[in-house]
Amino acid sequence: MKNKELRIKYQLSDDISELRAEDQELMRRAREALKGAYAPYSGFQVGAAVRLANGEIFIGSNQENASLPAGLCAERVALYAANAAYPDVPVEALAISVHNPKEPHLQPATPCGPCRQVLEEAEQRFGQEFPIILGGDGSQLLILPNASTLLPLAFHADFLKKDSPS
Ligand code: THU
């Protein structure tokens, strides 16, 4: 038996000016996208902004439903819209922001499990990693270098192929 170990690296910042100008803009767009959240059940508003390699930005916000599983997270709304409009253009960066009017001063929140799976596939399908920048109400930012940091040992397309162990 072999012992294996996985380590992850990520960054914390308290100063948005430490980000590249285009990533500062992406976080601004994610914060703005919060306004489109439909979250009457949880009260937890999420905004997301995706920048593609062609410079186009797509936004999304969480969309809840009385039939709870029918709702969709903000990052998937944004990613699917981007991929539907430009199926051949890789994702360059993703910013996500959270806010709850009844719980001021929220810290950045990391994406849920199904979103991690979708982010992972967005990297795999284009063979290109992208940073994920997370923000809350304050100045704190959490920056992940790529999706696989969020989902080590992920399930991916190669497992669907016969005779091709990953
Ligand atoms: N939510 C997101 O939009 N993204 C995530 O990664 C985590 C959760 C939404 C789903 C639901 O509308 C609310 O936050 C509370 O779970």
Backbone angles phi, psi at 32, to 5 degrees: -65, -35
How remote is the CA of residue 27 from the centroid of ligand 1, in Å?
17
- Identify the residue whose C-alpha is closest to ligand 1 atom 6: 111
Q: Which CATH number covers residue 123?
A: 3.40.140.10
More confident residue, 3 or 157: 3
Range of the domain at 100: 11-153
Summarize pLDDT for 119-161 with one digit per residue, the tens: 999 999 999 999 999 999 999 999 999 999 999 999 988 899 8
Whole-angstrom distance, CA of residue 34 vs CA of residue 5: 37
Report whether residue 114 contacts ligand 1, using a CB cutoff of 6 Å: no
pLDDT tens string 17-75: 999 999 999 999 999 999 999 999 999 999 999 999 999 999 999 999 999 999 999 99
Q: Specify whether the CB–CB gap between 57 and 33 falls below 8 A.
A: no
Domain count, the chain: 1
112 CB near ligand 1 (under 6 Å)? yes
Q: How far apart are CA 42 and CA 49, in angstroms?
A: 21
Name the residue of 42, 61, 63, 132 to mutate for ligand 1: max ligand atoms within 8 A of Cβ: 42
Closest CA to ligand 1's atom 3: 73
Give the per-residue pLDDT at 163.
Answer: 73
DSSP 8-state secondary structure symbol assigned to residue 59: E
Q: Closest Cα partner for 8 from 122, 107, 151? A: 151
Q: Is residue 17 part of a domain?
A: yes
